[in-house]
Amino acid sequence: MKLTSTFKAALLAFGTVAAVTAQDTPKAVETTPVAAAAPKFTEPQLLETFGWFVGRRMGLSELGFTPEQTAAIIKGIQSSATGAEAPYKIDEIGPELDKFMQAKQADYTAKQRTKSDAASAKFFADIKEKKGIKSLTVDTASGPATLYYEILKEGSGEYPKASNVVKVHYTGTLVDGTVFDSSVERGEPIEFPLGGVIKGWTEGVQKINKGGKIKLYIPYQLAYGEEGRPPTIPPASTLVFEVELLDFKDAPSAPAEAAPAAEAPASTNGM
């Protein structure tokens, strides 16, 4: 994920959606008007929180902006809020802005990788000592990486293949135990092609059969790489997944390509 795309999208990433439903009051019943409750938060508090979300999505803290740099960013936001034109010509300053933000991203990634590498080294050293831990070497573009796993519950029947569609319940955490995603918490399993996800999943889930449960200890090379998925998954993060395989099936066959019709109208959906 390039920071510049995040930066450009940050101010478009927010919305507040409020849905209010009310039951119709029977006409035959007289009701006493109820005074509206006083707002719990003031307008300045709401706007301050909105500003916090904008800064969070822009990565002001993670990218290590100084107070002076943050003040310059705020100055630009204030100028934009008045409807003023950009302070500098975008076609001229754009390339330099991209370089600046990419350098910030690279510095952030390098620092996070150093931090993640240290945490992962200790984590895997401890994992190797656990009883029942197995390992699997997987080839990647940057070289071999080792996936560690343990079978928590044996299933039955055949094992899935990378070409199958699997239905699973799972919980994903960082090495410090922070939960970043969980179908269990959402209360709804997920179904997807096993070959279309991170390699740690593709390789690991093939080690259990239907009804089985596995715990995967996935190095970043088999997960989301050096970039991670900030802010949820930091760069170079080792991930831990507890996965229950509920079912699997063959992927649907791709539809046969139809012969082109004579004078067929051009597509209008951009596909």
Q: Are 174 and 231 in contact (CB under 8 A)?
A: no
CA distance 173 to 239: 6
Helices (H), ranges, the chain? 3-9, 43-58, 67-81, 90-127, 183-186, 199-205
Report helix, strand or coil for 247: strand
CA distance 238 to 172: 11
Residue bearing tokens 């940057």:
142
The residues annotated as belonging to the active site are 170, 180-181, 198, 224, 241
Alpha carbon of residue 222 to chain centroid: 16
CA distance 127 to 149: 9
Angle at CA of residue 236, ends 3 and 188, nearest 5°: 85
CA distance 228 to 119: 15
Neighbours of 32 (CB within 10 A): 4
